[in-house]
Structure 1
Amino acid sequence: MSVLSTEDEGKFLMDVRGEQIGIVTEVDPIEQVAYVDPEPTLTNAWIQSLGRGDAGEDDLEIPSDNIETITDSEVRVDADLSSDA
């Protein structure tokens, strides 16, 4: 389990295969949940990278228990969330 902070907002969420799932729009550091936009527009991605965005209704909730690593540019989950199976 990794510890999430508001500094993780704007980072790319990646699956175990290294494929981009979306972009972190907001982090709840108390509940340890990252909210991820699975289909960000270029403008939205830019706004999020500046830490100026908020979570939307369709954002995915990713608990920190599912996060394997956090780097300067990405948050990587321990599962393949991009598949339909």
Structure 2
Amino acid sequence: MVNFTDDDEGKSVVMGDEKVGMITEVEHGTAYVDPDPGITDRIKATLDWGDRDEDTYPLQESRVDTVTDDEVRLRDDL
């Protein structure tokens, strides 16, 4: 079970060798991912100014393989 916290905001979301997005917000343990973050999104997430918008999607816990200090790695067998 993965319990995301505010500390996970700004982390890269990676699948295989490819960065597929960035966590822009965490709300009630659910991480929301922007699949194509720009520099403004990265700064907002780093400064905890992120909001969820129409370009962010909830990250399903069942898709997460590991969480490190720098990234969230998705399962390869999806």
**Normalised by the size of structure 2, how large is the TM-score?**
0.82
List gaps (5 residues or longer) in structure 2.
none
Residue 2 to residue 41, structure 1, CA distance change in 2 (3 Å): same
- Higher RCO, 1 vs 2 (CA within 8 Å, ≥6 residues apart): 1
Aligned to 1:74: 71
**Aligned-pair distance for 1:11?**
0.6
8 Å Cα contact 2:21/2:36 also seen in 1: yes
Corresponding letter in the other structure for 2:31: A
CA RMSD of superposed structures (Å): 1.9
**Aligned-pair distance for 1:64?**
1.8
Moved over 3 A (4+): none
DSSP 3-state at the match of 1:48? helix
Instruction: Kindly tell me the number of residue pairs found equivalent between the two proteins.
Output: 78
Aligned to 2:23: 24
Corresponding letter in the other structure for 1:37: D
List gaps (5 residues or longer) in structure 1.
none
Identity of aligned residues (%): 38
